[in-house]
Amino acid sequence: MSTEGSCACGDIKISYEGEPAGSALCHCTDCRKITGSAFSSNYVIPDDKFKLESGKPHEWAKTADSGNTMTSFLCSNCGSTMWRSSTKAPGVKFVKVGVLEGDKLVKQKWDNELYVPRRVPWVPEQKGATQIEGMM
């Protein structure tokens, strides 16, 4: 099964094969800022299952709250963050679920919630998700 995704303007297109290796909601400050929301929704995709179909994303790296380097890959035209990579988790990409096509991709259960002490009070704990105080 191939899953496709794109940025808001369509300049960047991605795909991956198979099912995500994991999933996480992240409540860290960086994820709030790059999404403009209270948290980010992420699928963990192994590098060998991921493909950049078209476009050339802008790369922006910074030292995250966890101390490791997080690199964001975003569209230079519309600004959509497509995925992130981490020096703490080589070999995988954290694909932003909101860029994926089709409603069948919205997972009903999340594997992990990250930075749970920073979760805003109006967002409920995800039942069944491992609650993690920081980064995995």
Phi, psi dihedral angles at 50 (to 5 degrees)? -100, 145
> Does residue 60 have a pLDDT over 90?
yes
- 41-50: per-residue pLDDT in tens? 999 999 999 9
Cβ-Cβ contacts under 8 Å for 45 (sequence gap 6 or more): 16, 20, 21, 83, 92, 93, 94, 95
Q: Given 3.40.47.10, 3.40.50.12280, 3.40.50.1820, 2.170.150.70, which CATH number is that of 2-131? A: 2.170.150.70
pLDDT of residue 104: 56
Per-domain residue ranges of the chain: 2-131
The identity of residue 110, as a single letter, is: W
pTM over 0.85: yes
All residues at 6 or more sequence positions from 117 whose CB lies less than 8 Å from its CB, including other chains? 133
Mean pLDDT of 22-51: 95
What is the structure's pLDDT at 102? Answer: 82
* pLDDT tens column, 80-121: 999 999 999 999 999 999 999 987 566 668 999 999 999 999
Higher pLDDT pick, 67 / 108: 67
Q: Which pLDDT belongs to residue 85?
A: 97
**E-assigned strands of 75-129?**
81-86, 92-96, 112-114
CA-wise closest residue to 133 among 121, 115, 120, 119: 115
